Structure 1
Amino acid sequence: MSDKNDKSDKNGSSWTGKAALAGAAIGSAAIAAALLYASRRKEAASNAKPNEAPETD
């Protein structure tokens, strides 16, 4: 194996590394958004008044 083969691999597959990095960034942002959404829903649920059952005789 020569340097020519190594260079072609680096140049030819460099977009895969960038795509993987972009995918990781998008995935991380999606996870962060999901955690924020879940924590806000949990917070809203804990602040909600419980439903009181009507009194019956």
Structure 2
Amino acid sequence: MTKQDETASERASWAGAAALAGAALGSAALAAVLLYSSRGKGKAPATPIHPEDAPETD
């Protein structure tokens, strides 16, 4: 094998590893987004603040 053939196979192996790493990062990011977005859906809405009931601070 020549030096040129070795570098071509090395490039192919790095490209495959980079594709796997990118897929792993992408799926982890997607899972994090889905978990974060579903965090606050089960909570009751907060009671609105009524300014007419607020104590005077003047």
* Alignment TM-score, normalising by the size of structure 2: 0.68
Percent identity of the aligned residues? Answer: 20
Q: Secondary structure at the match of 1:46?
A: coil
Equivalent pairs counted in the alignment come to 51
* Runs (5+) with no aligned partner, structure 1: 1-6
1:31 maps to 26
Letter in structure 1 aligned against 2:47: E
1:10 maps to 5
* Runs (5+) with no aligned partner, structure 2: 53-58
Could you say which structure has the larger radius of gyration? 2
Match of 1:20 among 4, 7, 15: 15
User: What is the alpha-carbon root mean square deviation over aligned residues?
Assistant: 1.8
**Larger helix fraction of residues:** 1
d(CA) in 1 for partners of 2:9, 2:43: 51
Letter in structure 1 aligned against 2:16: L
